[in-house]
């Protein structure tokens, strides 16, 4: 199968969150399964120059773009590179006016005013590059609002061209909270007829909504966990788009993300002081725990439970309920390690807690990839008490690394973490601890249950072994995407036959 993946982020080129990890790992896994995959993203030269992407050689394809944006023509070009240790082709849509900026979407916490124009250019640029490069894809996979226009352009314009007549489209929703909403006059920038600016297609309460556009026009829709696929069809979690998602329910599939085991594998991880697997867990994890405690300037104690969290510091990630039970947590014999950035209020709060409790709490404000790996390997437990979580990756990293997750049962957390109830322990399914209510007391209760289990070595070993022995790889997830791709392609063929 020939597959084009269009995304605004991919590692090691540009990343603000899990979107980059997911799109790259999926593309690599599909390639390993024998499919012809091309990955498209904007060319962010400043960002790549200060990151790992600088090591990837970039060359010209000789393909120039002239893209209509409203009444103007914007020029650009297509560059080519590849992922390290991969045969995957990566194409970069280059337009310095749009993409040569300090950040991807916003600066100083303010969105770029021309984001709509930037990603309309990218969406049209992808399709035009696909045409000029003669890729002839069977399927185009768009991700999030930044590429939400692609399914509409494919349906309304490009499907009339022979190279695209049989091409299906899939849109993946990574986080429904981000929809790409812009004022109604930006509809003129899309180049599509105003008749599509209506409540059934592209309009949303008087605004242009690019995520809704993708949902309406895609042949198939996916999101990043089965539970999240159900949640977003409800008023509570649908962010206003629940009616259209419910209407397209038969074409909506939840597929749990996987783990890129080339990056996240305790047996091979170069960031760890001692590698380990399920057989060498006891010695390897003990060494990693001691190193993490030393690194974070905590007392090196083998017996004390060490809990970690690598996260954006925000309400969505549960920091409000963590703060709500912090005094009770610190009354327990435990240690806490935090890594991340986010809401300045939480950054200051956690720093203060660490200053007042230096033998129990350590905080690093910022991001350090190596430290993130060390936390996953060195901790006994991982906190992820999210208000909502479309999928989440860290709870799966934790399971792979033998670190027992403590999570709120929402989205992908509910799909990957099996609570250590008596019945689940007896059946051998339990791999962590979960709770339902979004309250400090519920989180505290789950932590205390985990602390009790930690003091029962046989039970703890069972939880750790169950998590480490499960296949969390992207190969599993990629095969499910292939099933969805087949449905999208079949839908196009049936539609063409009817016409």
**Contact call for residues 64 and 76 (beta carbons, < 8 A):** yes
Q: How far apart are CA 496 and CA 498, in angstroms?
A: 5
CA angle 280, 282, 286 (to 5 degrees): 120
**Contact call for residues 455 and 340 (beta carbons, < 8 A):** no
pLDDT at 499: 64
Mean pLDDT in runs of 10 for the chain (499 residues)? 97 87 93 96 80 69 96 95 86 96 90 97 98 97 98 96 95 96 98 97 98 98 97 96 97 95 93 96 96 98 97 94 98 97 94 98 93 98 96 95 98 97 96 98 98 96 96 93 98 82
Q: How far apart are CA 2 and CA 27, in angstroms?
A: 12
Could you give the strand order of the β-sheet that contains 306-310, starting from the edge strand earlier in sequence?
361-365, 335-340, 306-310, 381-384, 404-408, 433-435
Q: How far apart are CA 190 and CA 369, in angstroms?
A: 38
State both tokens at 126. Answer: 């992808």
| Burial class (CB within 10 angstroms; exposed 0-12, middle 13-18, buried 19+) of 190 | buried
| Half-sphere exposure in the Cβ direction for 196 (13 Å, CA) | 23
Say which residues have a Cβ less than 8 Å from residue 349's Cβ, sequence separation at least 6.
Answer: 323
Q: Which has the closest alpha carbon to 43: 69, 67, 68, 8? A: 8
Q: What does 273-337 look like in DSSP terms, one character per residue?
A: SS---SSSHHHHHHHHHHHHHHHTT----SSS-EEEEES-BSGGGTHHHHHHTHHHHHTSS-EEE
Q: How far apart are CA 339 and CA 421, in angstroms?
A: 30
Q: How far apart are CA 288 and CA 271, in angstroms?
A: 10
pLDDT at 495: 83
Say which residues have a Cβ less than 8 Å from residue 39's Cβ, sequence separation at least 6.
Answer: 5, 7, 10, 23, 24, 27, 83, 88, 89, 90, 91
Query: 382 - beta bridge partners?
Result: 308, 405
Q: Which has the closest alpha carbon to 357: 326, 380, 384, 382? A: 326
Long-range contacts of 200-207 (CB under 8 A, 24+ apart): 201/152, 202/152, 204/179, 204/240, 204/241, 205/240, 207/181, 207/182, 207/183
What letter would DSSP give residue 420? Answer: -
Q: How far apart are CA 384 and CA 413, in angstroms?
A: 8
Pairing of strands 203-204, 306-310: unpaired
Count CB neighbours of 277 within 10 A: 13
Q: Which has the closest alpha carbon to 253: 492, 479, 434, 17? A: 479
Q: How far apart are CA 21 and CA 10, in angstroms?
A: 6
What letter would DSSP give residue 198? Answer: S
pLDDT at 16: 84
**What is the 3 state secondary structure string of 425-465?**
HHHCCCCEEEECCCCHHHHHHHHHHHHHHHCCHHHHHHHHH
Q: How far apart are CA 154 and CA 53, in angstroms?
A: 30
Q: What does 21-44 look like in DSSP terms, one character per residue?
A: HHHHHHHHHHHHTT-EEEEEEE--
Quick one: CA torsion of 257, 262, 267, 268, rounded to 10 degrees? Answer: -150
What letter would DSSP give residue 347? Answer: H
Count CB neighbours of 180 within 10 A: 24
Count CB neighbours of 2 within 10 A: 15
State both tokens at 219. Answer: 């042949």
Say which residues have a Cβ less than 8 Å from residue 387's Cβ, sequence separation at least 6.
Answer: 315, 316, 317, 318, 408, 410, 438
Q: Which has the closest alpha carbon to 189: 112, 98, 93, 116? A: 116
State both tokens at 359. Answer: 């033998």
**Contact call for residues 149 and 120 (beta carbons, < 8 A):** yes
């Amino acid at each position: 199968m020939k597959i084009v993946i269009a995304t605004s982020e991919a590692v090691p080129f540009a990343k603000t969150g899990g979107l980059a990890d997911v799109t790259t790992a999926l593309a690599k896994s599909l390639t390993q399964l024998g499919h012809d995959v091309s990955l498209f993203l904007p060319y962010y030269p400043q960002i790549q120059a200060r990151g790992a992407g600088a090591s990837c050689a970039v060359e010209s394809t000789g393909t120039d773009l002239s893209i209509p944006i409203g009444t103007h023509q914007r020029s650009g070009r297509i560059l080519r590179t590849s992922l390290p240790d991969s045969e995957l082709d990566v194409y970069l849509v280059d337009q310095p006016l749009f993409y040569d900026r300090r950040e991807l979407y916003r600066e100083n916490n303010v969105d770029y005013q021309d984001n709509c124009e930037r990603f309309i250019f990218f969406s049209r640029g992808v399709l035009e590059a696909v045409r000029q490069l003669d890729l002839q894809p069977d399927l185009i996979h768009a991700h999030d609002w930044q590429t939400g226009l692609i399914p509409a352009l494919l349906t309304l314009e490009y499907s009339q061209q022979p190279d695209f007549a049989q091409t299906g489209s899939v849109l993946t929703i990574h986080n429904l909270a981000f929809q790409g909403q812009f004022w109604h006059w930006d509809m003129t920038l899309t180049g599509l007829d105003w008749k599509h600016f209506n409540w059934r297609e592209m309009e949303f309460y008087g605004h242009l909504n690019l995520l809704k556009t993708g949902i309406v026009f895609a042949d198939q829709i996916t999101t990043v966990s089965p539970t999240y696929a159900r949640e977003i069809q409800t008023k509570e979690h649908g962010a206003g788009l629940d009616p259209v998602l419910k209407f397209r329910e038969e074409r909506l599939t939840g597929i749990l993300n996987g783990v890129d085991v080339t990056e996240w594998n305790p047996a091979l991880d170069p960031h760890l002081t001692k590698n380990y697997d399920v057989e060498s867990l006891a010695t390897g994890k003990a060494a990693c725990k001691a190193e993490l405690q030393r690194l974070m300037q905590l007392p090196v104690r083998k017996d004390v439970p060490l809990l970690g969290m690598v996260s954006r510091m925000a309400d969505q990630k549960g920091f409000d309920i963590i703060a709500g039970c912090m005094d009770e947590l610190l009354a327990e014999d435990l240690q806490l390690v935090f890594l991340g950035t986010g809401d300045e209020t939480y950054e200051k709060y956690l720093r203060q807690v660490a200053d007042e409790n230096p033998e129990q709490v350590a905080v690093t404000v910022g991001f350090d990839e190596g430290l993130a790996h060390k936390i996953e390997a060195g901790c006994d437990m991982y906190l992820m008490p999210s208000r909502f979580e479309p999928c989440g990756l860290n709870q799966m990293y934790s399971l792979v690394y033998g670190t027992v997750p403590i999570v709120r049962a929402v989205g992908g957390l509910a799909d990957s973490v099996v609570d250590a109830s008596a019945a689940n322990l007896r059946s051998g399914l339990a791999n962590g601890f979960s709770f339902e209510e979004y309250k400090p007391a519920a989180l505290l209760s789950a932590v205390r249950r985990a602390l009790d289990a930690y003091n029962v070595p046989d039970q703890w070993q069972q939880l750790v072994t169950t998590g480490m022995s499960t296949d969390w790889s992207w190969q599993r997830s990629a095969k499910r995407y292939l099933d969805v791709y087949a449905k999208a392609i079949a839908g196009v063929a049936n539609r063409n036959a009817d016409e």
